[in-house]
Amino acid sequence: MPQLSQQSYIAGRWVSPTGPEFTAQNPVTKAMLATYASCQETEAEQAMQAAATAATVYRSKTKDEIALFLNTIADQIEELGSTLLEICNEECGLGLPRLTGERGRTTGQLRAFAELVSEGNWVQASIDTAQPKREPLAKPDLRKMLRPLGPVVVFGASNFPFAFGTIGGDTASALAAGNPVVVKGHPSQPATNELFAHAIDKAIAKNGMPAGVFSLLQGNTIELGTALVQHPNTQAVGFTGSLKGGRAIMDVAAARPSPIPVFAEMGSINPVFIASDALATQGSTIVENLADSVCMGTGQFCTSPGVVITVKGTDFANALSKILTDKPRGVVLNKRIGESLQSGLQALASHAEVSWLSDVNIVNEDVFSPPNAVFATSAQAFINDPSLQEEVFGPATLVVDCDNANQMAAVAKSLSGNLTATVHATEKDVDQAAELFNVLEQKAGRVIMNGFPTGVEVCPSQHHGGPYPAGSQASATSVGSDAIVRFARFVSYQNLPDALLPSALQNSNPDTLMRKLNGRFNTEVIS
């Protein structure tokens, strides 16, 4: 088992930066954990130079070599055994059962990307053969496919220390697409980050990968993240976290002399609509299940249901509040999330048009242990005030009281971008459900019928993204196999001889790919 050294990892070297120190805190026991030092511009420069050097070598690795590398990383994560789970649990307090499941999801997505890369069709090969005798002009031979972008900088979120962390979906998909990755580690979980770097270090050595294919820069300064995004070698950014952080990074990337894409997954309020007949016939089941969804993981899911829209909303809110008050309080991941949740709750409680329904103090002596909170407001107030659409990250939800189905539709139209939107409806509500889905599919990346938004299946048909502010690019998903295409771009090759083409585009189709050949999909060889 690796010894933790409280260091950062740059292209195969363990380094001790000299920037400001920071210390993670166990959110359950409140014990202060090991102290790390922040990387600064010097380390950002070293990591990005090494990444650029590695990029030329790594992009020429075969698909099977990259797949083996990803599978080895997954194996090495498992080799970390219970140490990984225990150390991460000290840093995040999410509990061993949850972390065990999340580790499986993380190794599962690495292996799924390995399979995707090995199969090869993700590159979307397309070939239009030459027509030298075409009149009035000859048609050239044109072949295109997706190719890696170059070094990618990844910012992980604290609420999924494995699945959206150092070697979470962004890092896995960027490596799978053939890019080196430099991770800015989340300062809430530095020891977890360090353990993952050990696993990747071993996988690099076992597979003969270039050292600069991965670096981990520990740190808690905005300057470090900014330096990485501004570095000329950085070709794209993957970010999961708050709207405030994601927007700041989008602005830095856009202000570069050569702007780069930022794939940011940020805040979402995940509206849940409950139509009249569903409320009348299934209201008691819906309210129980909704309460579970609101409290799951102490509400620290990007898909947590932050707004519930229904007729007779006040009755519903009172029922929800009663259930939530009886549920045990959870623990939030870190002090910053606890403080920001408390100020979000206070803002709602002091809003003139919002009622706070629970009989408990919002300002809690223990900022790590927030109340399970329900607020209520009217449809008109919600429509009039965009601040009521701001994410309150934690076990809190706002019930919006509508007079009728028309008002529910008006609320749907007033929504900004979300990761998910849900409708509960029976057969009698079918017209209303159709009208709502028609609007909601323009507002969210995933629409759900008679379910709850928490729980994000990892599979090819998943879309985890959405219009701003949920995502920076609504077409991009950070979960599922299509996450890989974010970190690649099409290159068209005109009249190149077979030997100079990537294998995916060669006449003999050596990888037996499904290619679009002169407009039709097949696996044919070109004679």
Per-residue contact string for residues 409-428; x = within reach of ligand NAP by CB under 6 A = ----------x---------
Task: Tell me which stretch binds ligand NAP (CB under 6 A): 3-11, 158-166, 434-442, 488-496.
Answer: 158-166
Q: Would residue 302 show up in a list of annotated catalytic residues for this protein?
A: yes
* Bond prior to 132 in cis (omega within 30° of 0): no
Footprint of ligand NAP on 271-310 (CB under 6 A): 302
> Does 225 contact ligand NAP by CB under 6 A?
yes
How many residues bind ligand NAP, per CB under 6 A? 29
> Does 393 contact ligand NAP by CB under 6 A?
yes
> Does 162 contact ligand NAP by CB under 6 A?
no
3-class state of residue 213 by DSSP: helix
Footprint of ligand NAP on 120-149 (CB under 6 A): none
CA distance 326 to 394: 17
> Does 242 contact ligand NAP by CB under 6 A?
yes
> Does 462 contact ligand NAP by CB under 6 A?
no
Helix residue spans in 59-95 (DSSP H): 63-79, 81-92
Residue pair 132/482 in contact by the 8 Å Cβ criterion: no
**Which of 39, 92, 302, 402 does the annotation list as catalytic?**
302
**Which of 43, 102, 194, 265 does the annotation list as catalytic?**
265
* CA dihedral (315, 321, 324, 325) positive or negative: negative
Close Cβ partners of 263 (under 8 Å, ≥ 6 residues apart): 170, 236, 237, 238, 239, 471, 472, 473, 476, 478, 486
Per-residue tokens: 133: 């005798």
> Does 443 contact ligand NAP by CB under 6 A?
no
> Does 255 contact ligand NAP by CB under 6 A?
no
Closest CA to 77 of 2, 186, 176: 2
Q: SS3 sequence, 312-372? A: CHHHHHHHHHHHHHHCCCCCCCCHHHHHHHHHHHHHHHCCCCEEECCCCCCCCCCCCCCCC
> Does 157 contact ligand NAP by CB under 6 A?
yes
> Does 226 contact ligand NAP by CB under 6 A?
yes
Q: Which is nearer to ligand NAP, 260 or 275 (CB)?
A: 260
Closest approach of Cβ 75 to ligand NAP, in Å? 26
> Does 472 contact ligand NAP by CB under 6 A?
no
Task: Tell me which stretch binds ligand NAP (CB under 6 A): 110-118, 121-129, 218-226, 512-520.
Answer: 218-226
Residue environment code for 387-401, b if the CB has 16+ CB neighbours within 10 A, otherwise e:
ebbbbbbbbbbbbbb
> Does 164 contact ligand NAP by CB under 6 A?
yes
281-288: which pairs have CB atoms within 8 A and are 24 or more residues apart?
281/426, 282/424, 282/426, 283/316, 283/319, 284/319, 286/424, 287/316, 287/319, 287/320, 287/323, 288/323
Q: Which of 171, 407, 478, 509 binds ligand NAP (CB under 6 A)?
A: 478
Per-residue contact string for residues 351-390; x = within reach of ligand NAP by CB under 6 A = ----------------------------------------
CA distance 169 to 476: 13
Q: Which is nearer to ligand NAP, 157 or 275 (CB)?
A: 157
> Does 51 contact ligand NAP by CB under 6 A?
no
> Does 44 contact ligand NAP by CB under 6 A?
no
Question: CA dihedral in degrees (255, 257, 260, 262; nearest 10)?
Answer: -20
Closest approach of Cβ 479 to ligand NAP, in Å? 8
> Does 342 contact ligand NAP by CB under 6 A?
no
CA distance 429 to 153: 46
Q: Would residue 457 show up in a list of annotated catalytic residues for this protein?
A: no
Residue pair 106/163 in contact by the 8 Å Cβ criterion: yes
> Does 186 contact ligand NAP by CB under 6 A?
yes
Q: Which is nearer to ligand NAP, 154 or 308 (CB)?
A: 154
CA distance 434 to 22: 51
Interface residues toward ligand NAP, by CB under 6 A: 155, 157-160, 164, 184, 186-187, 220, 222, 225-226, 240-242, 245, 248-249, 265-267, 302, 337, 391, 393, 419, 464, 478
Instruction: Kindly list the catalytic residues.
Output: 265, 302
